[in-house]
Chains A and B, each alone.
Chain A
Amino acid sequence: MLKEKKYQIFILFWMKYRSRVENMEIGQVVSASVLDGIEIKLNIENPENLKVGYPVIVEGKEYRFYCVVEDIYTPKSKVIERIAGLELEKTIPIEAHETPYGIPLSCKAKLKPICLIDRNNNLREPETIPPYLAKVRLAIKEDVEKVYSPSEKTLPLGNLRGVKFEVGVDFERLTEKPFAIFGRTGVGKSILCKIVCNSIIAKDVGSVFIFDMHQEYGTFSKTDNTPGLKYFFPDKVEVFTLDPEENKEAFPFLIDQKNISPSDIIVAFQDLSESMIDALYVIERKRGEKDLVTAIKEADPDEYADKIHTSSLLALKRRIERLKRFKFIKPCVNDSFSYILSLIRTKKSIVLDFGRYGTNQMAYLFIANIIARRLYSIYTESPKTLPKLILFLEEAHKFLDPKISNYTIFDKLARETRKFNLILAIVDQRPSNIDEDVRSQLANRLILSLKEPNDVSASLSGVPDRPTWERIVSTMPPRNVLLIGDAIAIPTVVEVLEYTIPNMKRILLESKLSTEEINRIVERIDDIF
């Protein structure tokens, strides 16, 4: 009896599944190639219902081909060219014509096969093609679940385009190696960055260090009032500020002048000539007990006459006066970096609020370089003894431009530090300005909309089948992100989660229970009820 009932339920479920699947049919395969992808003839009335990046399933005989829509187009038609421009007001529109083949003038779509799902639900490389006229349908949750099986360290970043399904990233894997968030201004880079930072903290896969130029990441964002990292994780996040007059709740951040090195000055000013840079290093070698800034200020042109051209020295002196504007440079026994380091040792995440210096590029370059340099030095001195730290670097191209990267440690950070638990996360809108060697080190990329062809191309350098993804990235709307790398099962376009308090609480705080904890609760379920 029970068996019969189960069978009936199974049949009902199967019928429901089939009818859902049949209703999602969008077309049939008309040509296919392992190298060039799959072309399908669409049988939907309105091509606007399908969008680039949507996941679809091609029903082969042995495999289900999990694909994404790469392009949608109307093939050239002599008929259309003949009737275009005619007065056709009283005529019956094309979509209201039924034929034995569906719509008389159908559109087509190009699909990019991502993986094959075999009968045992194993994923395989797309090494073959489906037969002619194989049916194509939109992917449904059941298909997608097979592709994206989450790990314990997975948290969703957004919804798959065209399917109500939250796609997750394995944050443990993401933070094992350098990664990047690319996207032009106004497409949701900061929100994505916030979700990523929150997820890293929620999953305890590391701490984050973020330079908060626009006061977005603390408790609440000053620009749009959205919650920051401290809002969700008050005990795990500490906020420091360069501007204690404005932000009284945060710890003041002070830098002792003696900790300033030539590279900090070169990176911060960005306009030093070659002879001024030479002068800087000459003074650094001869400064003795003095700090570098004082040594420059007090340098006598006659004393350096044989090594530095007087005009270069005077120009350098004028430039160094700019540091006077930075109130956070003060003589102190132990500057804030030591305290920050002690917090990092206890796995705290750090937000460094720039306050009034937020629009001062020199301040950002100067501070970011000083901190990164000192972190690099400490992490490389005592490898693996410090907890994993993910250093988020916005406007990364300013540090990683081939012209300047020789003077900074950021390219070293990108290349070496994964061995030392210090991981660089690049956030940038101009990937083409970032050194190619650095880009090649990126194990994962979160790419939002980019329009500049050089940037699109650079953001995907080293990715297999780059032209296909280039087309997808350049046509993606804002708030959509292409996830590529080993932290996600397959390259995927997702619509970034809405960054609201309830949404983020649901994702971040629900996930606090580990599988073991859940199992323990399940074991005690009878006692509980």
Chain B
Amino acid sequence: MKWEEIIEIFKNSLEFETDIEINFKRFLPYKGKPKNLIAIDGSSTFICGISTLWLGIVRVCGLCYGLSSGFDLLWYEKKEHMEVISPQNPPNHIQRKIIEHYPSIDRKILINEIRRAHEIELTKEIAKKVEDSIIAMDGALTTPFLSELKDEVSEILNICRERGNILIGVSKDSRTHAFSRVLTDAELLEKRGKKESYAYIELPENFMENSRPPLYGKAYFVKLFPKARWFRIDIARGSPDEIFPQLACYAKSRLCPGYIYPLVEAHKFAVEINKIREFYEKKFLEKAVKEGLPIDKLLLCMTNAKGKKISDFHTFLDEISE
């Protein structure tokens, strides 16, 4: 292909990509005291693996923030769960269900789904406990794999309605193409919505219809602080004109302007699981040896945080490549 042809194709493509009518809706941050916001997130790590049998730990947490002159942490909850993961021989019905749908699923996706299930469980508990608050989950408001989780989410939505809570899902990164362009929606909005300060746009209805289920409520792209990034935020039920001005108040952190700060802390709190994995590792070894499991074989099964066995040649290659 000649250079001229290549350039022409790219030029047409770029013009087409941003040549789209977008009606931004503008808003201003809420002037009064916003509702309390509970940020929910989770993380997981592996401790050991024998062939296709893995031991992982999941931490889920909810941090409740209020806003005065600063971000006030009102309370927090955390739960840690030890999970045996086995795509070949699923130890419980959740894993069996997931594997029925996705037979080639690997341990990482499996533990992620289990984490999601624990997040939803915690969200339900918190939704019952609080009222007139915003509950922000990390990621889109979807339940891709398990039908049981759909029921759980439906129950959460009912609880939220009864107690005046608003459930939202905030995606750190979004790779959707709701506007049917080669650029992702986030990339497109970075270009077209650069000059906007506080604005949002609802994703096209046909995209949302096609995503439902597993999508709950409506999906938007929102800019919560001038010159900040656009983030996808799903609202399960409620008016964006009421919710986004309140969220903008929580997106004024100097650490990450434009992103909902309590979610940052929830994320940091959840990934702390990597720092305490040694504690679980020691506990597991102690218990296993006490029950007569051979220590030499167990040690060969220990993994790093990502689930790679310490004895793996791949791990060795990673180490010498650093």
Q: Are A97 and B255 in contact (CB under 8 A)?
A: yes
The 3 A-B residue pairs whose C-beta atoms are closest, nearest first, are A96-B70, A98-B73, A91-B254
Q: Is chain B's interface secondary structure helix, strand, loop, or mixed overall?
A: mixed
CB of B306 closer than 8 Å to a CB of A: no
Q: Are A88 and B71 in contact (CB under 8 A)?
A: no
B162: chain A residues within 8 A (beta carbon): none
Q: Are B73 and A100 in contact (CB under 8 A)?
A: yes
A80 to chain B, nearest CB (A): 9
Q: Are B72 and A91 in contact (CB under 8 A)?
A: no
Q: Are A104 and B69 in contact (CB under 8 A)?
A: no
Q: Are B269 and A88 in contact (CB under 8 A)?
A: no
- Give CA–CA (A88, B256) in the complex, Å: 10
A96: nearest residue on chain B (CB-CB)?
B70
- Give CA–CA (A98, B257) in the complex, Å: 16
Number of A-B contacts (CB under 8 A): 55
Interface string of B247-262 (1 = CB under 8 A from A): 0000011111100010
Q: Are A99 and B255 in contact (CB under 8 A)?
A: no
A528: chain B residues within 8 A (beta carbon): none
| Chain A: interface size category | 10 to 19
- Give CA–CA (A95, B265) in the complex, Å: 14
Q: Are A99 and B252 in contact (CB under 8 A)?
A: no
A1: chain B residues within 8 A (beta carbon): none
- Give CA–CA (A93, B71) in the complex, Å: 10
CB of B268 closer than 8 Å to a CB of A: yes
CB of B227 closer than 8 Å to a CB of A: yes
Q: Are B265 and A79 in contact (CB under 8 A)?
A: no
CB of B63 closer than 8 Å to a CB of A: yes
- Give CA–CA (A98, B72) in the complex, Å: 6
A90: chain B residues within 8 A (beta carbon): 252
A351 to chain B, nearest CB (A): 60
A123 to chain B, nearest CB (A): 35
CB of B76 closer than 8 Å to a CB of A: yes
CB of A105 closer than 8 Å to a CB of B: yes
CB of A381 closer than 8 Å to a CB of B: no
Q: Answer whether A79 and B255 are a contact pair too, CB < 8 Å, given A100-B76, A100-B265, A104-B265.
A: yes
Q: Are B265 and A92 in contact (CB under 8 A)?
A: no
B72: chain A residues within 8 A (beta carbon): 98
| Chain B: interface size category | 20 to 34
Q: Give residues of chain B (54-69) contacting chain A, Cβ–Cβ below 8 Å.
A: 63, 65, 69
B residues with CB within 8 A of A? 63, 65, 69-73, 76, 225, 227, 252-257, 261, 265, 268-269
B268: chain A residues within 8 A (beta carbon): 99
A96: chain B residues within 8 A (beta carbon): 69-71
A79: chain B residues within 8 A (beta carbon): 255-256
B254: nearest residue on chain A (CB-CB)?
A91
Q: Are A91 and B252 in contact (CB under 8 A)?
A: yes
- Give CA–CA (A83, B73) in the complex, Å: 23
Q: Is chain A's interface secondary structure helix, strand, loop, or mixed overall?
A: loop
Known: A79-B256, A87-B227, A98-B71. 6 other contacts (CB 8 A): A86-B227, A91-B254, A92-B254, A98-B65, A98-B73, A104-B265
A83 to chain B, nearest CB (A): 6
Q: Are B254 and A93 in contact (CB under 8 A)?
A: yes
A91: nearest residue on chain B (CB-CB)?
B254
Select B253's contact among A87, A97, A100, beta carbons within 8 Å.
A97
Q: Are B265 and A83 in contact (CB under 8 A)?
A: no
Q: Are B63 and A91 in contact (CB under 8 A)?
A: no
B128 to chain A, nearest CB (A): 22
21 interchain pairs, CB-CB under 8 A = A79-B256, A83-B255, A83-B256, A87-B227, A88-B254, A88-B257, A90-B252, A91-B225, A91-B253, A91-B254, A92-B70, A92-B71, A92-B254, A93-B254, A94-B255, A96-B69, A96-B71, A97-B71, A97-B265, A99-B73, A100-B76
A87: chain B residues within 8 A (beta carbon): 227
B76: chain A residues within 8 A (beta carbon): 100
Q: Are A98 and B70 in contact (CB under 8 A)?
A: yes
Q: Are A100 and B71 in contact (CB under 8 A)?
A: no
- Give CA–CA (A94, B265) in the complex, Å: 13
Which of B63, B69, B253, B256 has the most chain A CB within a 10 Å cutoff? Answer: B253
B265: chain A residues within 8 A (beta carbon): 97, 99-100, 104
B65: chain A residues within 8 A (beta carbon): 98
B75 to chain A, nearest CB (A): 10
- Give CA–CA (A92, B253) in the complex, Å: 5
Interface string of A68-90 (1 = CB under 8 A from B): 00000000000100010011101
B69: nearest residue on chain A (CB-CB)?
A96
- Give CA–CA (A525, B227) in the complex, Å: 79
B270 to chain A, nearest CB (A): 11
A86: nearest residue on chain B (CB-CB)?
B257
- Give CA–CA (A95, B261) in the complex, Å: 13
A94: chain B residues within 8 A (beta carbon): 254-255
B225: chain A residues within 8 A (beta carbon): 91
Q: Give residues of chain A (90-119) contacting chain B, Cβ–Cβ below 8 Å.
A: 90-100, 104-105
B228 to chain A, nearest CB (A): 10
